[in-house]
């Protein structure tokens, strides 16, 4: 009986601890450790300027670099928003920022401005289709346009399995999941009032 009682006692305490851990890990305070919001002022400033939801920008940064400003991918993408140098210089030209060095592109102030403008341009090009713009941010606007034109991908989230590139498929899934979390955690905060022409979702769902 003693062994049985000890086992029951152990099972009871295990269940209690598990329940406490589940409750704690689902609190907003805990989730904000996994979905932080650094560079908030820069993100909101540029999101307002270019008409993009700042929480979408935050979700992309978390997915791309986990907010590491010195991040450099094996392919050469730079900074918080993981912009390829040629894309960064093209965007800089559109914004009259002059010719940028890689070091300048890595700067959070410049990187967030370039990435947010580029995201806004994709949303405009694809008529506000969120999933298509997210996929194009990773896979390239020309490539995604071709997928849509050839009916390779419908452009809908529930058809993401049709996306030929596994990396882009995963990127779309991760950004949408992160975006949902950022909306849950931060959308009620006063400083995040919607800016003009935002494309927003309340939960991860099909377009």
16 and 60 part of one domain = no
Number of domains in the chain: 2
207 in catalytic set: no
**What is the greatest pairwise CA distance in the chain?**
80
Band (pLDDT 50/70/90 cuts) for residue 21 is very low
21 and 105 part of one domain = no
Instruction: State the catalytic residue, choosing from 44, 64, 69, 180.
Output: 64
How far is the C-alpha of 14 from the C-alpha of 9, rounded, in Å? 9
67 and 127 part of one domain = yes
pTM (two decimals) = 0.81
pLDDT at 22 (0 to 100)? 42
Q: Give the domain CATH number at 118.
A: 1.10.530.10
Question: What mean pLDDT, rounded, does the chain reach?
Answer: 86
| Structure tokens given for 93 | 């030209």
Name the least confident of 30-34, 65-69, 116-120, 130-134: 30-34
Cα angle: 64, vertex 67, 142; to 5 degrees: 25
Asked if residue 203 belongs to a domain, the reply is: no
117 and 84 part of one domain = yes
The parent domain of residue 126 ranges over 35-192
13 and 54 part of one domain = no
Band (pLDDT 50/70/90 cuts) for residue 104 is very high
Question: Across residues 76-98, what is the average pLDDT?
Answer: 97
What whole-number percentage of the chain has pLDDT above 70? 78
9 and 47 part of one domain = no
10 and 61 part of one domain = no
């Amino acid at each position: 009986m003693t062994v049985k009682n000890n086992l029951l006692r152990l099972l009871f305490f295990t269940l209690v601890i598990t329940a406490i851990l589940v409750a704690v890990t689902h609190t907003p305070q805990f989730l904000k450790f996994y979905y932080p919001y650094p560079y908030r002022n820069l993100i909101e400033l540029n999101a307002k300027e270019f008409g993009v939801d700042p929480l979408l920008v935050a979700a992309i940064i978390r997915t791309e670099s986990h907010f590491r400003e010195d991040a450099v991918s094996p392919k050469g993408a730079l900074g918080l928003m993981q912009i390829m140098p040629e894309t960064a210089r093209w965007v800089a030209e559109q914004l009259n920022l002059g010719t940028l060095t890689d070091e300048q592109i890595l700067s959070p102030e410049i990187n967030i401005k370039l990435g947010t403008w580029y995201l806004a341009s994709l949303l405009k090009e694809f008529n506000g289709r969120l999933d298509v713009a997210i996929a194009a941010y990773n896979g390239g606007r020309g490539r995604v346009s071709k997928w849509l034109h050839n009916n390779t991908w419908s452009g809908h989230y529930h058809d993401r399995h049709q996306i030929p590139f596994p990396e882009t498929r995963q990127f779309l899934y991760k950004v949408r999941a992160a975006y949902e979390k950022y909306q849950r955690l931060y959308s009620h905060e006063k400083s995040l009032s919607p800016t003009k022409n935002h494309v927003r979702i309340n939960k991860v769902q099909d377009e």
